[in-house]
């Protein structure tokens, strides 16, 4: 995986694009995207499969429906996994890295976990039933204006809003919010996590810093994932891991993810430990 874009630029450029221009993505860009996708890996060491669909508009619109959410998109990327511990996080990580790369290329995307016709897209992308198919994204050039439904959706889920630091990041225990000053050089990776996309913009990530580790927790919104056969907010946790990991790497801060680093502390309600990032050779 060779990251050749600035995290801050791509994170700030990316937003959910639901209205696309007629103009197709050029063949050389499509090839570059495929090469980039083929080089993907993730710290959770779970396999994520990518599926491309290049003529989304000419195939039956009805079957490739997005309930009127996405308009004008011709290209789509689908992702499938075996459902096992950390595979949803792996999907979140890899697809978000791809999405940030697409933002760097000037292309719009939109994470879709709910509003797409799974059966129709599975058929068009030749996806069998042995894997689960949690997410697709359209990609292409953003139209100059948002469509009406898109404007209404963004307003309803407050898509432009992000939680404050004091709601997301903590030091030693969950009674003690972490300030940017205390986070020192980790302030940048944490800020990049804060700006990330999440299902219905719920921002379920909570990060606790102690000793030389950042512990990632998921705030499980009660009832939220019930309409799926898996916890879709674990995909959001993978997105948080991608933003954190690419940012520390960009800044030359050394560390790695571990999955069994849960500290023995009291947890607020609905909070579940996900994974940790352990810094090498330095106290945080
Ligand atoms: C895992 C996941 C699933 C999502 N599913 C949908 C979806 O089904 N339909 C949709 O219109 N947006 C979906 N979104 C987009 C979010 O609503 C969006 O990222 C969030 O509101 C923040 O807005 P922004 O992406 O413009 O920053 C999803 C995002 C994520 C991360």
Q: How remote is the CA of residue 68 from the centroid of ligand 1, in Å?
A: 15
CB 257 within 8 Å of CB 105: no
Give the model's pLDDT for residue 66: 84
Mean pLDDT, rounded, for 16-32: 95
What is the tens place of the pLDDT at every residue in 156-168?
Answer: 999 999 999 999 9
Q: Please report the sign of the dihedral spanned by the C-alpha atoms of residue 55, residue 57, residue 60, residue 64.
A: positive
- Could you please state the CATH topology (level 3) that the domain comprising 165-279 is classified under: NADH Oxidase (3.40.109)
Give the pLDDT band of residue 188 (cuts 50, 70, 90).
very high
Give the model's pLDDT for residue 68: 87
Q: How remote is the CA of residue 15 from the centroid of ligand 1, in Å?
A: 9
Residue bearing tokens 């079957």: 63
CB-CB neighbours of 123 under 10 Å: 14
Task: Reply yes or no on whether the pLDDT at 63 is more than 80.
Answer: no
Helices in the chain by DSSP H: which ranges?
Answer: 7-13, 27-38, 87-104, 118-124, 148-156, 165-168, 180-183, 187-194, 233-250
Separation CA 214–CA 279 (nearest Å): 8
Percent of all residues in the chain with a pLDDT value above 90, rounded to a whole number: 88
Give the pLDDT band of residue 62 (cuts 50, 70, 90).
low
Separation CA 74–CA 53 (nearest Å): 8
- Could you please state the CATH topology (level 3) that the domain comprising 7-153 is classified under: NADH Oxidase (3.40.109)
What is the tens place of the pLDDT at every residue in 229-277?
Answer: 999 999 999 999 999 999 999 999 999 999 998 999 999 999 999 999 9
Q: Where are the domains of the chain?
A: 7-153, 165-279
Ligand 1 pocket by C-beta < 6 Å: which residues? 15-16, 69, 110-115, 153, 157, 159, 197-201, 232, 235-236, 239
> Taking the CA atoms of the chain, what radius of gyration do you get in angstroms?
19
Structure tokens at 171: 């030091």
Mean pLDDT, rounded, for 16-33: 95
Give the model's pLDDT for residue 51: 96
Mean pLDDT, rounded, for 205-218: 96
Task: Reply yes or no on whether the pLDDT at 284 is more than 70.
Answer: no
Atom of ligand 1 nearest to the CA of 200: 17
Q: Whose CA is nearest to atom 30 of ligand 1?
A: 199
Separation CA 147–CA 274 (nearest Å): 37
Separation CA 83–CA 60 (nearest Å): 29
Q: Please report the sign of the dihedral spanned by the C-alpha atoms of residue 268, residue 158, residue 227, residue 114.
A: negative
Residue bearing tokens 């990032």: 277
Greater pLDDT, 1 or 29: 29
Separation CA 41–CA 126 (nearest Å): 23
Give the pLDDT band of residue 61 (cuts 50, 70, 90).
low
* Fold match between domain 7-153 and domain 165-279: yes
């Amino acid at each position: 995986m060779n990251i050749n874009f600035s995290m801050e630029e791509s994170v700030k450029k990316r937003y959910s694009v639901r209205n696309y221009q007629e103009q197709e993505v050029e063949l050389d860009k499509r090839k570059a995207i495929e090469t980039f996708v083929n080089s993907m890996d993730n710290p959770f060491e779970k396999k994520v499969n990518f599926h491309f669909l290049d003529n989304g508009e000419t195939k039956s619109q009805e079957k490739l429906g997005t309930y009127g959410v996405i308009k004008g998109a011709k290209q789509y990327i689908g992702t499938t996994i075996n459902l096992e511990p950390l595979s949803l996080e792996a999907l979140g990580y890899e697809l978000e890295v791809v999405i940030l790369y697409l933002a760097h290329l000037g292309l719009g995307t939109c994470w879709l976990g709910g509003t797409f016709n799974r059966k129709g897209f599975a058929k068009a992308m030749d996806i069998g039933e042995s894997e689960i198919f949690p997410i697709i994204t359209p990609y292409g050039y953003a139209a100059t204006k948002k469509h009406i439904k898109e404007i209404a959706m963004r307003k309803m889920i407050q898509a432009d809003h992000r939680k404050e630091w004091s709601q997301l990041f903590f030091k030693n225990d969950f009674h003690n919010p972490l300030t940017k000053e205390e986070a020192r050089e980790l302030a940048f990776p944490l800020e990049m996590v804060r700006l990330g996309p999440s299902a219905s913009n719920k921002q379920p990530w909570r990060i606790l810093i102690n000793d030389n580790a950042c512990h990632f927790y998921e705030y499980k919104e009660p009832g939220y994932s019930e309409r799926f056969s898996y916890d879709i907010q674990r995909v959001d946790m993978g997105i948080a891991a991608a933003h954190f990991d690419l940012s520390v790497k960009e800044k030359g801060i050394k560390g790695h993810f571990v999955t069994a680093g849960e500290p023995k502390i009291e947890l607020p309600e609905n909070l579940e430990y996900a994974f940790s990032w352990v810094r090498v050779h330095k106290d945080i």
